[in-house]
Amino acid sequence: MEALRHRMEELGVPRTLVTPHLMGRTIGPVGDHPRQRAVVAAALDLLESATEPGTTVTFDTTGRA
């Protein structure tokens, strides 16, 4: 989540998708399955496209990162 972006930078995570969601709803709001699905798809896209350690992408609420 955006609120913990700095923690990811501190930890040094290989690939991070930052989501604009509340804590406890990292993937998306409760019951918002289209949003959750888009987040998961964006995470897989990032897994595939990242070429550098520490690559961080912010999820775009239009549906694609």
Applying CB under 8 A, which residues contact another protein? 1-4, 6-15, 20-31, 33, 36-37, 39-41, 43-44, 47-48, 51-54
Question: How far apart are CB 44 and another protein at their closest, in Å?
Answer: 6
Q: Least distance to another protein from the beta carbon of 27, Å?
A: 5
In angstroms, the Cα distances linking 51 to 28, 33, 48, 58, 64 are: 26, 29, 8, 16, 19
Q: Closer to another protein at the Cβ: 29 or 63?
A: 29
Residue showing tokens 């700095």: 6
* Residues 1 and 19 sit within 8 Å (Cβ to Cβ): yes
The two three-digit tokens of residue 49, written as one number: 């496209």
Q: Least distance to another protein from the beta carbon of 22, Å?
A: 6
